[in-house]
Amino acid sequence: MKKPFYILGLLLVTLGVLVFILSRHGKPVESSAEVLTVHCAAALQKPVREIARQYEMEYGTRIRLNFAGSGVLASQIKVSGGDLYIPADSSYIGPMKAEGLVLESTDLARLRAVVVVRKGNPRNIRSMDDLARRGVRISVGEPTAAIGSFVRRVLMESGDWERISPQILVTKPTVNNVVEDVATGAVDAGLAWDAVASQFKDVELVRVPVFEDIPRCATAGILRGAEVPAALHFMRYLAATGRGRDVFEKMGFTVPAVADSWTDAPVLTLFAGSMLRPAIEDRLRLFEQREGCRIKTVFDGCGTLLARMNENDAGAMPSAYFPCDSTFLSDVKDRFGPGMIITSNEIVMLVPKGNPRGLKKLDDLSKIGLRVGLADAGKSALGKLTMDMMMRYGCWDELHDSGNVVVLASKGEELANQMQSGALDAALIYLSNAMASPGMMADCKIIRLRQPDAIAHQPFVVAHDTPYPQMVLRLRDFITHDDARSRFEQLGFKFIKREWTDE
Amino acid sequence: MSSDDGRKEDTSVSGPGRIPSDIPFFLGIGGLALCYTCLITALVLANMTAIEWQDLLGMWYNPDIHASIRLTFLTCSVSAILSILCAVPIGYLLSRFRFPGRAVIDAVLDIPIVLPPLVVGLSLLILFNKVPFAGGSLEKWLNDHGMMVTFAIPAIILAQFTVATAFAIRVVKNTFDQIDHRSEQVAMTLGCNRSGAFWNVALPQAGQGLVAAGVLAWARALGEFGPILVFAGATRGRTEVLATSVFLEINIGNLGGAAAVSLLMIILALGLISLIRFITRSKTPFL
């Protein structure tokens, strides 16, 4: 007769066990395998799901996908974090980059807004005017979805929004829902992304001029606090030819013209003027760790680098070239894409501490009995710029005739060393050469020449034939990121960072 | 209509003892029953047409859905047990005793049944987060003591429990109503006290009904969505139960995936219904 008590006891014990199991729910148990959390716009659901599946099979890393409208994801990320954010429109990335929430980003696919109608276009909808017709039922995305906010913005500007809004029957959280509405016949027309609509069987796309010239770009961004290099590895995979890019293309997305080839751990070659070594060396190592790649860097005088490129053997072409001055590009311009002027650096006169010979101007270098060090015009940008500057100033021949030039170095660092050892009375070098060596200020004095043409501009250019154009651009952005700026400025570089096409 | 026809027929035909045909009556009720059954069957079938093999495979291999199934079973079981622990004494109280305010209590207990589920969730949300309490709000106080309710798993259980208990109480009360309380009175005349009569006489007789109430509570918990959405949130992998999964899949336009999860829920529901049938029909006592 005590049976009910036993059953009560059993219930309580079961309850205890269940609560215990629940208390452990959702805690990461799979510490053995890596897990990446990817917040992805619902519009990209199909390709990204497929790419994640392939990636999981290839590398065993688990990808947790969270799909929603791009705007919804942005607010979720602020609360819960994650590794990658893939909105359907790159305009979501910009503000997050500005806030420091997104670091690197890469373009994945282009999307154009279209009018979606049922197969055969039974309501004969061909233009925005047709949408404004009475009795046409329209479905649009909510403003929290990229499609919703984009069509609102564009149509409000064009004045069409007011005309069609009485016909809007329903708003939906994602573009997929909008197309679904058209496919099931619940509405007559929807405003959706072309690539998403073309995945559905029962619908047809009507292209309208108002959207046609403004394609949007689905972009992947690495979130602050993301697991690197795993997150970057997957981001590269998403965009790479032969991997993610092919899946996007297969599913009807327009993919960007340039994309990286897929390699597990790419190797980049960077040719850089030797003056840049102290400014970028540490940053290059950080980039390697972050991206899981290797950078073979050759620092040398720019003339030497040019000569190596002109030898034209297969291994000699770098992925990127970061010369000391833009004049050292003209010979190889056709091999590189448009670049960006990153910094400028002025040429200064370096004299021993106290300036015992009282040197002030370029003319003074021809004084009798001086030991002057210059850079070789054939081997380095510094030498070339120095020569041009002195020729224009009109003291080049005089200096040569004086026989004062005792050293023609291949790069500025050598001259800096010789100055420090006391072997020279004066040298013309970059301000950064002088600032880079810590002991220099104790032994030498910098005399600013204030010559407008004594300034070298350092452009960063990407090789046309590099297999990793996107990664090289990330490298450029990384070594010239605001975090790196102070290092450049410490060394006497002026930070410019503007687009540069030709002189 | 058919009964009218029957009466007309009745007056026109002479002769005593002639019973009019039952066919129109059966056609009427049979037809209506058939219509409604067809509607429900059509719903299930329509749901299935939206599913492709890929969707089923996708569901099968989707770790989020696995977590969702696990969490659904755990939370529903906890809610059902809590419901039954609450419902049995309350049902017994309402069935056996007449006391002032009983009608009010009876009515209040029906609120979760008639209220839109969304309102239950909203009210829970407000109760925990807006109503002043020591330290600001109840949620704040709980957080200070190491507990999280809102947008966490306890919120799921609380939402399910609130609604499921109301239904369980109805079943338990009906069960006790149907048991003659004379046997308990006899037990008391034989030296049992109230508690003894409850544990040793009333409960063993109510066994089947109580188990059925438990299963019903479980099934209600399974179907709960509105309050969970509002009070527990629909965070993938964290507070995602099967009903939430359907919502999340619909939200991203994955109709096939949503239908696949729905199918799983339909199968679960059918299983539970059969279980209730089996329990209430079988003659063997459960307690």
Partner A, chain B 151-180, Cβ-Cβ below 8 Å = 153
Whether chain B has a CB inside 8 Å of the CB on A500: the answer is: no
Whether residue A177 and residue B238 make contact (CB cut-off 8 A), yes or no, is no
pLDDT at residue number A125: 93
Identify whether the C-beta of residue A434 lies closer than 8 Å to the C-beta of residue A408: no
Question: What residues of B are in contact with residue A81 (Cβ under 8 Å)?
Answer: none
Whether residue B254 and residue A7 make contact (CB cut-off 8 A), yes or no, is no
Of B153, B238, B252, the CB nearest to A67: B252
pLDDT at residue number B5: 46
Q: Indicate whether A333 pLDDT > 90.
A: no
Whether chain B has a CB inside 8 Å of the CB on A22: the answer is: yes
Question: What residues of B are in contact with residue A1 (Cβ under 8 Å)?
Answer: 200, 204
Computed on alpha carbons and rounded to an integer, the radius of gyration of chain B in Å comes to 24
Whether residue A177 and residue B253 make contact (CB cut-off 8 A), yes or no, is yes
For residues B56-75, give the mean pLDDT. Answer: 89
Beta bridge partners of A372: A405, A426
Q: Taking all residues of chain A, what is their mean pLDDT, rounded to a whole number? A: 89
Of A21, A178, A180, the CB nearest to B255: A180
For residues A302-312, give the mean pLDDT. Answer: 82
* Better-predicted residue by pLDDT, A232 or B283: A232
Count CA atoms within 13 Å of residue B113 on its CB side.
13
Structure tokens at A353: 């501490």
pLDDT at residue number B80: 96
DSSP string, chain B: -HHHHHHHHHHHS-STT-PPPSHHHHHHHHHHHHHHHHHHHHHHHHHHHT--HHHHHHHHH-HHHHHHHHHHHHHHHHHHHHHHHHHHHHHHHHHH---TTHHHHHHHHHHHHHS-HHHHHHHHHHHHHTSEETTEEHHHHHHHTT---TTSHHHHHHHHHHHHHHHHHHHHHHHHHHS-THHHHHHHHTT--HHHHIIIIIHHHHHHHHHHHHHHHHHHHHH--HHIIIII---TTTS--HHHHHHHHHHTT-HHHHHHHHHHHHHHHHHHHHHHHHHHH--S---
How far, in Å, CA of A92 to CA of A70, rounded?
8
CB atoms within 10 A of CB A48: 26
| A18/chain B closest Cα distance in angstroms | 6
pLDDT tier, A30 (very low <50, low <70, confident <90, very high otherwise): very low
Whether chain A has a CB inside 8 Å of the CB on B64: the answer is: yes
How far, in Å, CA of A54 to CA of A51, rounded?
5
Whether chain A has a CB inside 8 Å of the CB on B71: the answer is: yes
> Which DSSP letter does residue A467 get?
S
Q: Indicate whether A459 pLDDT > 60.
A: yes
| B172/chain A closest Cα distance in angstroms | 15
> Which DSSP letter does residue A493 get?
P
Of B237, B250, B254, the CB nearest to A64: B237
Helix, strand, or coil (residue A359): coil
pLDDT tier, B283 (very low <50, low <70, confident <90, very high otherwise): low
**Using one digit for the tens of pLDDT, what is the confidence trace for A404-441?**
888 888 888 889 888 888 889 999 999 998 888 777 87
**Using one digit for the tens of pLDDT, what is the confidence trace for B80-124?**
999 999 999 999 999 999 999 999 999 999 999 999 988 999 999
**Using one digit for the tens of pLDDT, what is the confidence trace for B214-238?**
999 999 999 999 999 889 888 777 8
Identify whether the C-beta of residue A68 lies closer than 8 Å to the C-beta of residue B235: no
For residues A198-203, give the mean pLDDT. Answer: 89
| A12/chain B closest Cα distance in angstroms | 8
pLDDT tier, B4 (very low <50, low <70, confident <90, very high otherwise): very low
| B21/chain A closest Cα distance in angstroms | 46
Question: What residues of B are in contact with residue A141 (Cβ under 8 Å)?
Answer: none
Residue from B160, B235, B236 whose CB has the most chain A CBs within 10 Å, to mutate: B236
Q: Indicate whether B10 pLDDT > 70.
A: no
pLDDT at residue number B262: 93
pLDDT at residue number B131: 86
CB atoms within 10 A of CB B162: 22
Whether residue A174 and residue B253 make contact (CB cut-off 8 A), yes or no, is yes
Question: What residues of A are in contact with residue B64 (Cβ under 8 Å)?
Answer: 64
pLDDT at residue number B15: 56
Q: What is the largest CA-CA distance in chain A?
A: 123
Residue B204, preceding bond cis, omega within 30 degrees?
A: no
pLDDT tier, A65 (very low <50, low <70, confident <90, very high otherwise): confident
**Using one digit for the tens of pLDDT, what is the confidence trace for A137-185?**
999 999 999 999 999 999 999 999 999 999 999 999 999 999 989 988 8
pLDDT at residue number A2: 62
| A180/chain B closest Cα distance in angstroms | 7
pLDDT at residue number A23: 85
pLDDT tier, A26 (very low <50, low <70, confident <90, very high otherwise): low
| B1/chain A closest Cα distance in angstroms | 37
How far, in Å, CA of B6 to CA of B18, rounded?
12
Q: Indicate whether B12 pLDDT > 70.
A: no
Q: Say which amino acid occupies A131.
A: L
From residue A105, alpha-carbon distances to A81, A111, A236, B49 in Å are 16, 17, 10, 40
Q: Kindly tell me the burial class for residue A206, based on how many C-beta atoms sit within 10 Å of its own C-beta (0-12, 13-18, 19 or more).
A: middle
Whether residue A42 and residue B253 make contact (CB cut-off 8 A), yes or no, is yes
Partner B, chain A 163-182, Cβ-Cβ below 8 Å = 172-180
Q: Indicate whether A33 pLDDT > 70.
A: no
pLDDT at residue number A312: 64
Give the count of Cβ contacts less than 8 A between chain A and B: 75
Q: Indicate whether A451 pLDDT > 60.
A: yes
pLDDT tier, A313 (very low <50, low <70, confident <90, very high otherwise): low
pLDDT at residue number A314: 55
Question: What residues of B are in contact with residue A25 (Cβ under 8 Å)?
Answer: 67, 70-71, 74, 153
Identify whether the C-beta of residue B111 lies closer than 8 Å to the C-beta of residue B170: no
Share of chain A above pLDDT 90, in %: 52
Whether residue B235 and residue A80 make contact (CB cut-off 8 A), yes or no, is yes
Helix ranges, A352-380 (H) = none
Left, alpha or beta for A28 (phi > 0: left; psi -120 to 50: alpha)?
beta
How far, in Å, CA of A319 to CA of A283, rounded?
17
Identify whether the C-beta of residue A472 lies closer than 8 Å to the C-beta of residue A320: yes
Closest CA to B236 of B245, B223, B228: B245
* Better-predicted residue by pLDDT, A115 or B53: A115
pLDDT tier, A503 (very low <50, low <70, confident <90, very high otherwise): very low
Beta bridge partners of A222: A84
**Using one digit for the tens of pLDDT, what is the confidence trace for A87-109?**
999 999 999 998 889 989 999 99
**Using one digit for the tens of pLDDT, what is the confidence trace for A253-265?**
999 988 999 999 9
From residue A79, alpha-carbon distances to A72, A76, B56, B172 in Å are 11, 5, 32, 44
For residues B7-32, give the mean pLDDT. Answer: 74
Q: Say which amino acid occupies A87.
A: P
| B238/chain A closest Cα distance in angstroms | 6
pLDDT at residue number A27: 57
Closest CA to A168 of A135, A139, A142: A139
Q: Indicate whether B286 pLDDT > 60.
A: no
Question: What residues of A are in contact with residue B253 (Cβ under 8 Å)?
Answer: 42, 45, 172, 174-180
**Using one digit for the tens of pLDDT, what is the confidence trace for A467-495?**
999 999 999 989 988 888 888 998 889 98
Q: Indicate whether B287 pLDDT > 60.
A: no
pLDDT tier, B3 (very low <50, low <70, confident <90, very high otherwise): very low
Whether residue A66 and residue B236 make contact (CB cut-off 8 A), yes or no, is yes
CB contact set of A155 (below 8 Å; sequence gap of 6+): A128, A161, A164, A210
First to last CA, chain A: 100
pLDDT at residue number A334: 85
For residues A275-300, give the mean pLDDT. Answer: 92
pLDDT at residue number B73: 93
For residues A269-285, give the mean pLDDT. Answer: 91
pTM of the shown model: 0.77
